[in-house]
Amino acid sequence: MKSVIWFARVSIFIVYFWFGFLKIIGTSPAESLVHELFNITLNVLISFKAFVITFGVIECTIGLMWLVPKLTIVAYFAVIVHVIFTFVPMIALTQLTWSNILTPTMTGQYILKNLLLLSCTMMIKEHNKAL
């Protein structure tokens, strides 16, 4: 079981760090979605460039935390907050996330995959608690 937990930790690290790094360097395929949501929420508070870089750094940090077992609970709650925010487009940008009722677009599917990340983090948290 220990190797499965470490595989899950490394997998979460890869996804969060990689996707975050793509945002930092400006090559994320999710950038247009992030920009659309930014335009209807935070555009009066911060520049988009500063926001997307900060968001990328946060995602990289979440990924790195999963490599440190003592940070499991902090990383777990960070993922919960992140997943909540990543689901906002499913409600706020329905034209980009749904093609029909119960039929997500590729963008919607990209967002829905976060449920797998969340379930994986729950498994790790529960395993860590049992130790």
Phi, psi at 3, each rounded to 5°: -70, -35
What's the average model confidence in pLDDT over 8-15? 97
Q: What is the mean pLDDT of the chain?
A: 95
**Higher-confidence position of 2 and 74:** 74
Q: Is residue 78 a contact partner of residue 64, using CB atoms and an 8 Å limit?
A: no
Long-range contacts of 105-108 (CB under 8 A, 24+ apart): 107/33
Encoding tokens for residue 99? 């093609």
Q: Is residue 69 a contact partner of residue 129, using CB atoms and an 8 Å limit?
A: no
Domain locations along the chain: 2-130
* pLDDT at residue 13 in the model: 98
CA dihedral sign of residues 35, 38, 44, 46: negative
C-alpha span between 33 and 102 (Å, rounded)? 20
Render pLDDT for 114-130 as a digit per residue (tens, 0 to 9).
999 999 999 999 998 87
Render pLDDT for 80-97 as a digit per residue (tens, 0 to 9).
999 999 999 999 999 999
Render pLDDT for 32-69 as a digit per residue (tens, 0 to 9).
999 999 999 999 999 999 999 999 999 999 999 999 99
